[in-house]
Structure 1
Amino acid sequence: MGSRNGQLVVIIFIQIWIATAQNRDGKFNSFSAVLQALKEAWQKSVPPSWNVGSDPCRDSWEGIICTNSRVTSIYLTSMQLTGGLPGDIGQLSELQILALSYNPGLTGSLTPAIGNLKKLTNLVLVGCSFSGPIPDTLGNLERLIILSLNSNRFTGSIPASIGNLKNLYWLDLTENQLTGSLPVSNGTIPGLDMLTHAKHFHLGDNQLSGNIPPRLFNSNMSLLHLLFENNKFTGSIPSTLGLVRSLEVVRLDRNSLTGIVPTNINNLINVTEMFLSNNQLTGQVPNFTGMNFLNYLDLSNNDFSASDIPSWFSSLQSLTTLKMQNTNLQGQLPVGLFNIPQLQNVDLSNNKVNGTLNIGSNPSSQLQLVDLRTNEIAAFTQRRQYTIGLILVGNPICMESGVTDKYCSLPTNTSTSYSTPPNNCVPASCGLGLVSSPNCKCAYPYRGSFFFKAPSFSWLGNTTIYESLRDSLMKFFRKSQFPVDSVSLMNPSRNLDDYLVLNLEIFPSSTLSFNRTGILWLGFVLSNQTFKPSKDFNTYTFTAQNYDNFLPEVSVEGRPKQKSSNTGVGVIVGSAVGGCVLVVLLAVAGMYVFRQKGRAERAKQQSRPFALWDPTSGSGGVPQLKGARSFTFEEVRKYTSNFSEINNIGAGGYGMVYRGSLPNGQLIAIKRAQQGSTQGGLEFKTEIELLSRVHHKNVVGLIGFCFDQGEQMLVYEYIVNGTLKDSLSGRSGIRLDWMRRLKIALGAARGLQYLHDLADPPIIHRDVKTNNILLDERLVAKVADFGLSKPLSDANRTHITTQVKGTMGYMDPEYYMTQQLTEKSDVYSFGVVMLELITARNPIEKGKYIVREVRQAMKTSKQLYGLHEVLDPTIGLGSQLKGLEMFVDVSLRCVQETGNQRPPMSEVVKEIESIMELVGLNPTTESSSSTSASYELAPGIDYNHPYSNDSLYAYSGGFLPPKLIHPQ
């Protein structure tokens, strides 16, 4: 029996050795063959590195990412590729990302074979020249998250099969030549109405026609942006649109829609931009009362002759822009309209506005233009004192004899000029096509244009907002470790589609130009929506210009790359190595055959949970655990009812999250890593190792894990009331008064103090934020999510020098600058959490940083530190906020610029305990029970579970490949 086993082992190892040698020679590597076919199809316009060797994985072809010698990603943006996309692409069965944007030389139809890429998550083909119909086989790509086919030449109708893409997040088919109606399901045929998880429908600038189907919209949808502008839609706006209350941007302009605007349109209380202009809408002006976030409203070129100017205009206190030219609007303008704090532009030209114009004594300080030309205004009360840009040409007031007021003539120059200024330096004198950067260095920039489709503002002369965009771009590039020196923005304008167009130049760091790797990643992050601007700019597309000034390609040693002249050497070396390995394996096999079967089985059973752990996968060495239970895949599947949809309670960057129940009735939450992906492997190991060692009432408890059948799952105790972020934002329906917030602050602080001072070894969390603080049934705070945590060993008791990771807004600036991590980095993040507790604002919101805003508010008044403007109104008022000043003092000490100025967590705990004693609470009992833990839940709330922590906003350093951040 032993001899037979030995022979079998020898045969198997010989087969493995032969297959390895063949793969080394590239003759039997099907993935290499596919890449060779692509190379031929693209008429040899591929990067030069594709001419080195024959194995794209082994020879490091640019734009090709491999996992275990399988091609998993193709990034070739802005590479000036020419040719078509052959059906061979369908053989790359492990491909997850295909990004070929900004290659206008890519032509022909999109091959139906693309439907064979069952693991594809991102299909990004922006700014190419693909034509013909969109293949129906796209409906087979059930894992697809991003589908961006905008700015091509696709024709025909939208395939109904896209409705099968249940994981689709982003659908962008803008600027093609698509025709026909919008597909909706009918029980047997799928449709777009089935995409309930999608956040973005971008279908503008096509030739789509017919009615907008009422069945397209339903209350289960989670759409944020609905962009149907510049098509040929007819009929009325369906009232079912009012069911999609998650909507933030609606563009139905430049169609042929008729009838009245649905009366339930004001159910869309989260909408910030609404474009209904250039249709044939009639009836009353739609009532937008209650839409308190509305910034931009354009109803121009419709017929609302059936109504007078509505009085509720002035109730839209977030409004920056009101455009209703040529709508047959009549009546006198309410003076309150001009007092809206952020109002910038009012365009009511070509209407029947009459009476006396009164802009009030205190109009908005941001008001730039009031265009009332061709109306029936007879008088103006502020005739001599106004300072705004006012146009009254064509009104009776300007038809009087001898009138010379400037508002009775058209402005001579309304253009706006802006360009990013130099950074305190003198622009360099450059030649040969080089451009002086904002840092006054000559270089060849990567150029293109942003098209912002729904900005919240209309005044193009606001330089501050462009500088904010420039700063956010640079922060993004630096944190992603892109080789970018500076960026320049210039020439803001509005095009015929009413998009804000802004030109962009990106300058390389240290060199005159980018290499191909730098360009392909820049093109990818801008076409994949990885960079996300602030809400002021909202959704965008980016078009890139060709880049013709690549750096010479160099090898790791710094010498120019050369094509290998003798691939046989690799075969000889590979064969020799394979032979040596074979001898060793045979010896090991012989020893194994003669071992006692029982002893072998026991060893196998002991190592079973990590028998397949692969340290080379980026997940580190085999975990060292204390007490965490190992579950089999079958057990977890049983506890979650086969991962049923009803038990799916969320998703994050790690993967899906499910609720389950153990046989003893205990509720559990299972974080399941994405199938077939090693992303999160290191976080998986870190959380197991650390949480198996920590046991504290203010730290979420790890029950066990599953490392079986290729799955990575973490099993936690189920925390019923979600994240602190959910409660502060109102999503959980739990009202947090001042007392409850103090208790939560104390619980979270105690959890962090335990990690820093009592855990063995001490732990730095590294991602403290309100999304990672959970609330149990008594609203006791528990610190969670240890995927980025670092233990402090004896060798690094003072600090750890490590790659910067964390979340924007919470990140310690000293750690970011020095890459030296200490416990004081957690203290800084907790200080931001304390400020978020009293303001309920995001750390970074509309370009404003919470730390700076609170400090500024403190300077304005001594009463309550002048915080009335930034305090969360639901926290309580006046004397109920006893101890607030002390709380703010502690939080601002935590967010000092340097760590040595910040208190340790033990001191923070004592300070919060003192505040609780001051307000009459007993800090010794409040962390374990709550005398006021009763609370009311808002009816109908669909509670998101805390373990669906969205790490897509978390920054993880590293240039290749960039973190895929889904757009919002």
Structure 2
Amino acid sequence: GDGDGDGDGGGEDDSSEGGGQTPGQPPPTTPGPSVAPIAPSPSPTLEPTGSPLDPAKYDRYRKFVDVIMSSGVTPAGKVASSAVVAMSVPATTGQQEALNWIAFDDPLLDPEVDPALRIAQRYAAAVLYYNMAGENWKNNTKWLDPGHECGWHGITCEKKQIVARSQPQVQVTVEELMVTEIVLNNNNMFSLVPGEIGAFPWMDTLSLQSNLLGGQLTPNIANLTRLERLWIDGNKFVGPIPTELGQLDALEEADLHQNSFRGQIPTQIGNLVKLRRFSAYDNKLEGTLPTEIGNLINVREIFLDTNKIGGSIPGELGGAVELEDLRLFQNKLSGPIPAGLSGLSNLRVFYADNNDLTGQIPATAVAGWMSLVDFEMFDNNIGGTLPAYFGFLPELAVISMANNNMDGDIPWIICQTGKLRKIDVSGNSLSGPIPNDIDECSSLERLYLDHNEMGSTIPTQIGLLSQLSKCRLESFSSPRYCWYDRITFVLRLISTIGIPEYSVLFSYSTQKYSV
């Protein structure tokens, strides 16, 4: 969705408005017969108020303009270079409002004495306030107070050594409080994030989660070279993820999810070798997964689900050797699972359901996933058989492969680790019996085998699965219901036509689960 503003700020600053024209001398009270009334004096061309512009105020404004423009914080055209214009024309940009405030209303800084970085920092913070409708924030405590900007709500600072004002060719450093964190989550902020956000060179955390911020993410984000955490999820950002994001080589966490970002994930994402989490789920991302994503040698979480990403899963992703949680579900991915993913020995969660993936599950890849806990690929077009290698993954707890094209027998060796809690292979073409030693799946809580071609009867040993709470077994020849007695831990199967040997010997607390 688009943002609620155009980024140009708005509103008038009553403290900096002009006061109208200077009146001329009144006509004589008793005009003579030959004397015409005296016309009012012409309007002044330089002075917007009834009294001459204070030269000190003019000079102060000009010096602030020089500092801000030379720092590159604000592009030309966003602020007036003349104090006369600034005081006579209502501000139409957040930048102009911030400059008027710092030059005319805020006495804290001296443009001739205070370091340029400190001036740029205070000015940029004021731009954030004006540009993002600070008067409407849920919490704007102390914002635009005369005290240090590090005391404004949501801003955290640390002492840093920065360059002071000094004589030419003589560089002196001073210690100043500089912004290291801006955290303004769920604060009713809207409009655009201005480019001045890049004026905080020591910032390591920018968190603007759950607001109404829109428009495109400014490329000036690249100026935050020390940024480690970028949390802007839950907003209305649109357009592409800026390629400049790839310049943030200190970045460890990028949370961009639940926005409306479009286009392809930039290849520059591969430059972020310190990245530990890349979360961009629930956007409108398209294109294909860049092969450079495999360069993220420290990434542990990649969440790209609920987008429109197509193409195949690149085998290069196997280079992300620290990856623990990979979520690609609900996209338009196609083709097979690449064998190149075998290097993901730390992978615990693999969600790729609701795509158009084909081929067989490569045994070579699965065999390398020794940390795997949860494997979900339902609603695809995966064929072949269920790999027996699942039985050699010591932590595997969930196999969810419903609604695919798999056939053959279920390799019940998958239960041998004793940790498997859920098997869902419904909606395939699997055949063969349920083995008599099904009770070896001792941790099984959910068993979904319905809508396959497994037409045999169910062994009574299934009654020994004391943890089983849900099961679906449609298409088997005789049973239609699973009865589970929580007191005696005995599962009874009741035939629709009644079979004497399946007599019901329940005590109480009986649960019935339809299949």
Give the TM-score of the pair, scaled to structure 2.
Answer: 0.63
Give the partner amino acid of 2:473: L
Per-residue deviation, 1:57 = 6.1
- Paired with 1:294 and 1:229, the residues of 2 have a C-alpha distance of 19
1:439-496 CA distance string (max 9 Å, x none): xxxxxxxxxxxxxxxxxxxxxxxxxxxxxxxxxxxxxxxxxxxxxxxxxxxxxxxxxx
Residue of 257, 270, 273 corresponding to 2:333: 257
1:377-418 CA distance string (max 9 Å, x none): 222223672442322023334477516889xx99369xxxxx
Name the structure 1 match of 2:368. 290
Match of 1:232, SS? coil
- Paired with 1:254 and 1:327, the residues of 2 have a C-alpha distance of 15
Name the structure 1 match of 2:63. none
Name the structure 1 match of 2:112. none
Give the partner amino acid of 2:378: S
- Paired with 1:115 and 1:335, the residues of 2 have a C-alpha distance of 57
Give the partner amino acid of 1:164: Q
Match of 1:356, SS? coil
Aligned counterparts, 1:230-245, within 5 A: 230-245=306-321
Per-residue deviation, 1:335 = 2.7
Does residue 160 (structure 1) correspond to residue 160 (structure 2)? The answer is no
Per-residue deviation, 1:116 = 2.3
- Paired with 1:126 and 1:299, the residues of 2 have a C-alpha distance of 31
Residue of 332, 352, 356 corresponding to 1:276: 352
Does residue 183 (structure 1) correspond to residue 277 (structure 2)? The answer is no
1:688-713 CA distance string (max 9 Å, x none): xxxxxxxxxxxxxxxxxxxxxxxxxx
Give the partner amino acid of 1:300: F
Aligned counterparts, 1:737-752, within 5 A: none
Give the 3 Å change call, closer, same or farther, for CA 96–270 of structure 1 in structure 2: same
**Equivalent residues of 1:193, 1:215 under 8 A apart:** yes
Name the structure 2 match of 1:147. 230
Does residue 390 (structure 1) correspond to residue 471 (structure 2)? The answer is yes
Aligned counterparts, 1:940-959, within 5 A: none
RMSD: 3.4
Name the structure 2 match of 1:437. none
Give the 3 Å change call, closer, same or farther, for CA 410–201 of structure 1 in structure 2: farther
Name the structure 2 match of 1:324. 401
1:155-198 CA distance string (max 9 Å, x none): 000101111111111111111111111111xxxxxx11111111
- Paired with 2:388 and 2:253, the residues of 1 have a C-alpha distance of 38
Name the structure 2 match of 1:99. 183
Name the structure 1 match of 2:291. 214
Per-residue deviation, 1:290 = 2.9
Match of 2:215, SS? strand
**Equivalent residues of 1:269, 1:291 under 8 A apart:** yes
Does residue 333 (structure 1) correspond to residue 435 (structure 2)? The answer is no
- Paired with 1:326 and 1:48, the residues of 2 have a C-alpha distance of 52
1:74-95 CA distance string (max 9 Å, x none): xxxxxxxxxxxxxxxxxx9932
Per-residue deviation, 1:347 = 0.9
Give the partner amino acid of 1:254: Q
Match of 2:431, SS? strand
- What are the ranges of 5 or more consecutive residues in structure 2 without an aligned counterpart? 1-101, 110-118, 162-175, 481-494, 505-510
Per-residue deviation, 1:228 = 1.2
Match of 1:216, SS? helix
Name the structure 1 match of 2:212. 129
Give the 3 Å change call, closer, same or farther, for CA 365–208 of structure 1 in structure 2: same
Match of 1:193, SS? helix
**Equivalent residues of 2:136, 2:189 under 8 A apart:** no
Give the 3 Å change call, closer, same or farther, for CA 43–53 of structure 1 in structure 2: closer
Match of 1:50, SS? coil
Give the partner amino acid of 2:345: I
Give the partner amino acid of 2:206: L
**Equivalent residues of 2:327, 2:351 under 8 A apart:** yes
Match of 1:240, SS? helix
1:83-131 CA distance string (max 9 Å, x none): xxxxxxxxx993221111122x211111112122222211111111111
Does residue 27 (structure 1) correspond to residue 104 (structure 2)? The answer is no
- Paired with 1:52 and 1:183, the residues of 2 have a C-alpha distance of 37
Does residue 411 (structure 1) correspond to residue 513 (structure 2)? The answer is yes
Give the partner amino acid of 1:391: R
Does residue 402 (structure 1) correspond to residue 486 (structure 2)? The answer is no
Give the partner amino acid of 2:275: A
1:127-148 CA distance string (max 9 Å, x none): 1111111111111211111111
Give the partner amino acid of 2:203: L
- Paired with 2:319 and 2:244, the residues of 1 have a C-alpha distance of 24
Residue of 254, 264, 287 corresponding to 1:171: 254
**Equivalent residues of 2:108, 2:146 under 8 A apart:** no
Match of 1:395, SS? coil
Give the partner amino acid of 1:402: I
Give the partner amino acid of 1:161: E
Aligned counterparts, 1:895-910, within 5 A: none
**Equivalent residues of 2:418, 2:443 under 8 A apart:** yes
Give the 3 Å change call, closer, same or farther, for CA 384–129 of structure 1 in structure 2: closer
**Equivalent residues of 1:93, 1:117 under 8 A apart:** no
**What is the total number of aligned residue pairs between the two structures?**
359
Aligned counterparts, 1:676-825, within 5 A: none
Name the structure 1 match of 2:71. none
Match of 2:413, SS? helix
Per-residue deviation, 1:261 = 0.9
**Equivalent residues of 1:297, 1:323 under 8 A apart:** yes
Give the partner amino acid of 1:55: G
**Equivalent residues of 2:347, 2:369 under 8 A apart:** yes
Per-residue deviation, 1:51 = 8.3
Match of 2:237, SS? strand
Per-residue deviation, 1:34 = 6.3
Match of 2:179, SS? coil
Query: Greater share of helix residues, 1 or 2?
Result: 1
Residue of 37, 42, 55 corresponding to 2:134: 42
1:711-762 CA distance string (max 9 Å, x none): xxxxxxxxxxxxxxxxxxxxxxxxxxxxxxxxxxxxxxxxxxxxxxxxxxxx
Per-residue deviation, 1:336 = 2.2
Give the 3 Å change call, closer, same or farther, for CA 151–47 of structure 1 in structure 2: closer
Per-residue deviation, 1:356 = 1.2
- Paired with 2:140 and 2:300, the residues of 1 have a C-alpha distance of 42
**Equivalent residues of 2:253, 2:276 under 8 A apart:** yes
Name the structure 2 match of 1:300. 378
- Paired with 1:273 and 1:67, the residues of 2 have a C-alpha distance of 38
Name the structure 2 match of 1:194. 271
Aligned counterparts, 1:313-462, within 5 A: 313-358=390-435, 360=437, 362-377=439-454, 378-382=456-460, 385-387=463-465, 388=468, 389-398=470-479, 402=497, 411=513
Aligned counterparts, 1:486-635, within 5 A: none
Give the partner amino acid of 1:293: S
**Equivalent residues of 1:376, 1:396 under 8 A apart:** no
Name the structure 1 match of 2:342. 266
**Equivalent residues of 2:318, 2:341 under 8 A apart:** yes
Give the 3 Å change call, closer, same or farther, for CA 110–386 of structure 1 in structure 2: same
Give the 3 Å change call, closer, same or farther, for CA 53–117 of structure 1 in structure 2: closer
- Paired with 2:139 and 2:204, the residues of 1 have a C-alpha distance of 24
Identity over aligned pairs, percent: 25
Higher gyration radius (CA): 2
Match of 1:130, SS? strand
**Equivalent residues of 1:129, 1:153 under 8 A apart:** yes
Name the structure 2 match of 1:842. none
**Equivalent residues of 2:316, 2:341 under 8 A apart:** no
Residue of 146, 153, 157 corresponding to 1:54: 146
**Equivalent residues of 2:325, 2:350 under 8 A apart:** yes
**Equivalent residues of 1:57, 1:65 under 8 A apart:** no
